[in-house]
Amino acid sequence: METLVTTSNNLNDKTICITGASSGIGQAIAQHLGSSGAHVFMMGRNRSPMDESADLIRSAGGSADVATFDVADLEALSSWVASAAASTGRLDVMVNNAGFGDVGATIADGDPAMWKAMLETNVLALAVGCQAAIKAMRSTSSQGNIINISSVAALQRESGVYGATKHAVNCINSSLRKELQDEPIRVTSVMPGVFATNFTRNVDRTMVEGIAGMAGITELEFDDDSRLPQHQIDQIQQALAIGIGDVTHIANAVEYIILQPSELNIEEIVIRPQKSLLS
């Protein structure tokens, strides 16, 4: 008789894969779950911050592994998930977090190359991540959670091409919930509003400057990838806490989802700050 690797009411020894873990929401989720006892497998394109997260997790008693590749490399993504499950003998949670966009950009003046990259990362890589997780959960007889980070843009019909990719994420979620309802694998969509991540890559620069101005910051230190340094993101969030959320709250929500009884599926969570600045 097949033995099911069951869930428990804590994170100890759970195997968790997280994409896009080098910054923002993914980094916060990895640090929180890993520091709570999980074995966290992180992937992203920037290794240095993931190594820092791994050190923090290990110092708190958790375990962490780091991989560096582009999530749009679908073969690498599938192999990474399979390898994580093989190394621990289970896969409890897959968090498909990697994504980006062009919030505020118009379709009339948009960049098709950007649209293509968004579709490859936000939709195709997420779908492949789900598929790889299902295969790993089935092969290891694990009770699992697939948690896909969507966006409140998926709640709006006029949210552009970026919003279209997040509508697609929610469609994938709903389809998977129906496909997997007779298996011990749960699927959840988390839809954040504006949080203190490097949202500057996803929002028109004029909007970013306007938000920073509301926080009293007039000199922004953009790098070549339109990222702001973490200290400026923290300054903006602290000054506008009512309108820009702290990513640790999303990490807490993800933990809540994971720790629910196996017979309960949290279908969707919309999480945003008290006041909406962009959505």
Give the chain's residues under pLDDT 70: 1-9, 195-205, 207, 215, 224-227, 229-230, 232-243, 276-279
Whether 188 and 222 share a structural domain? no
Q: Contact at 8 Å (CB) between 254 and 33?
A: yes
Whether 31 and 81 share a structural domain? yes
pLDDT (tens digit per residue) in 37-70: 999 999 999 999 999 999 999 999 999 999 999 9
Whether 24 and 154 share a structural domain? yes
Q: How far apart are CA 214 and CA 218, in angstroms?
A: 9
Whether 151 and 207 share a structural domain? no
Kindly report the CATH number assigned to the domain that includes residue 152: 3.40.50.720
**Predicted local confidence at residue 76, as pLDDT:** 98
**Predicted local confidence at residue 196, as pLDDT:** 63
**Predicted local confidence at residue 245, as pLDDT:** 73
**Of the candidates 17, 122, 139, which has an alpha carbon nearest to the alpha carbon of residue 67?**
17
137 within some domain: yes
Whether 261 and 213 share a structural domain? no
6 within some domain: no
**Predicted local confidence at residue 5, as pLDDT:** 47
Q: Which domain holds residue 75?
A: 15-195+245-271
SS (H, E, C) the chain: CCCCECCCCCCCCCEEEECCCCCHHHHHHHHHHHHCCCEEEEEECCHHHHHHHHHHHHHCCCEEEEEECCCCCHHHHHHHHHHHHHHHCCCCEEEECCCCCCECCCCCCCCHHHHHHHHHHHHHHHHHHHHHHHHHHHHCCECEEEEEECCHHHHCCCCHHHHHHHHHHHHHHHHHHHHCCCCCEEEEEEEECCECCCHHHCECHHHHHHHHHHCCCCCCCCCCCCCCCHHHHHHHHHHCCCCCECHHHHHHHHHHHHCCCCCCCCCEEEECCCCCCCC
The residue count of the chain comes to 279
Q: 41, 80, 162, 195: which is the annotated catalytic residue?
A: 162
149 within some domain: yes
8 within some domain: no
Whether 105 and 221 share a structural domain? no
276 within some domain: no
3 within some domain: no
83 within some domain: yes
**Predicted local confidence at residue 3, as pLDDT:** 46
Residue 162 among the catalytic residues? yes
Whether 238 and 250 share a structural domain? no
Whether 219 and 143 share a structural domain? no
Whether 226 and 254 share a structural domain? no
Cβ count within 10 A of residue 159: 19
Whether 181 and 214 share a structural domain? no
Whether 85 and 221 share a structural domain? no
State the pTM of this model.
0.85
Total domains in the fold of the chain: 2
278 within some domain: no
Whether 226 and 138 share a structural domain? no
